[in-house]
């Protein structure tokens, strides 16, 4: 049986690990709660290892790179190269996938565990049978929570709505972009039945901003998603 683990994916740009302290704080928090031991504490050493791996795997690319941090229950942080981006920094991804809504709950709440990753992969497989690439997760009460493991945001006019949920590096990054773009934020339960009345659906993760083209057959735009991505680009261009 595979050992339980926690994970985070770090965005690396110009040999810098973006938001690494926040990622390590997530690992530390959940490691203490689930495994009874602290997570990695040496940020400098961890950053050096991440950069070395990223540069070793893609030495000639000036695009963003991604490295996964894996923390097994037995301890001992592992790193895996997770690819090269088409972009530099956080941006609106050109890919606009189709999605379907699925109702399912996660084990151990929203902790970034192997179990959550497996549940998300199974949901993607089920969505694929409907011709969609993404599963939008709703809980048993029909509250919209996530897409592709990241918090899902729904836009109506110039208001961005998001259901209450577990704090994460990616959720905090999205909230930063929404506020920096001067948009109104409504943190309240978003119901599955509301989605057809929304103008846009998007999420933010280590890759940037991803907007859905369709969900349950209904088409969506990406105007506000682009504004959020532009705000994130500006924030990370500042010295």
Range with the lowest mean pLDDT among 109-118, 153-162, 184-193? 109-118
CATH of the domain at 33: 3.30.470.10
**Among 21, 55, 84, residue at a domain's last position:** 84
Q: What is the reported pLDDT for 238?
A: 46
Give domain status of residue 49, yes or no.
yes
**Among 26, 52, 84, residue at a domain's last position:** 84
The DSSP code sequence of the chain is: -PPPEEEEEEEEETTEEETHHHHHHHHHHHIIIIISS-----HHHHHHHHHHHHHHHSTT--S-EEEEEEEETT---EEEEEEE-SSSSS-B-S---EEEEEE---TTTT--BHHHHHHHHHHHHHHHTTT-SEEEEE-TT-BEEEETTEEEEEEETTEEEE------HHHHHHHHHHHHTT-EEEESPPBGGGGGG-SEEEEEETTEEEE-SEETTEE---HHHHHHHHHHHHHHH--
68 and 13, same domain (yes or no): yes
What is the domain extent for residue 163? 98-237
**Among 53, 84, 115, residue at a domain's last position:** 84
Give domain status of residue 92, yes or no.
no
Give domain status of residue 91, yes or no.
no
Instruction: Report the predicted TM-score, pTM, of the whole model to 2 decimal places.
Output: 0.93
pLDDT digits (tens, 9 = 90+) for 16-68: 999 999 999 999 999 999 999 999 888 899 999 999 999 999 999 999 999 99
CATH of the domain at 205: 3.20.10.10
């Amino acid at each position: 049986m595979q050992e339980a683990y926690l994970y985070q994916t770090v965005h690396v740009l110009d040999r810098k690990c973006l938001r690494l302290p926040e990622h390590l704080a997530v690992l530390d928090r959940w490691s203490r709660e689930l495994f009874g031991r602290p997570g990695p504490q040496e940020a400098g050493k961890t950053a050096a290892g991440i950069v070395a791996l990223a540069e070793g795997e893609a030495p000639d690319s000036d695009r963003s790179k991604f490295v996964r941090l894996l923390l097994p229950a037995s301890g001992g942080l592992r790193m895996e190269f997770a690819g090269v981006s088409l972009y530099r920094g956080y941006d609106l991804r050109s890919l606009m996938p189709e999605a379907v809504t699925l109702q399912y709950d996660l084990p151990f709440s929203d902790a970034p565990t192997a179990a959550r990753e497996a549940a998300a992969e199974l949901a993607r497989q089920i969505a694929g049978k409907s011709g969609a690439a993404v599963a939008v997760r709703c809980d048993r009460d029909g509250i919209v929570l996530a897409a592709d493991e990241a918090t899902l945001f729904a836009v109506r006019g110039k208001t961005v709505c998001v259901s209450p949920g577990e704090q994460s590096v990616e959720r905090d990054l999205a909230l930063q972009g929404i506020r920096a773009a001067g948009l109104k934020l409504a943190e309240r339960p978003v119901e599955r039945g509301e989605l057809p009345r929304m103008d846009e659906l998007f999420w933010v993760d280590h890759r940037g901003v991803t907007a859905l083209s369709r969900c349950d057959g209904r088409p969506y735009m990406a105007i506000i998603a682009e504004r959020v991505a532009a705000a994130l680009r500006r924030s990370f261009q500042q010295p």
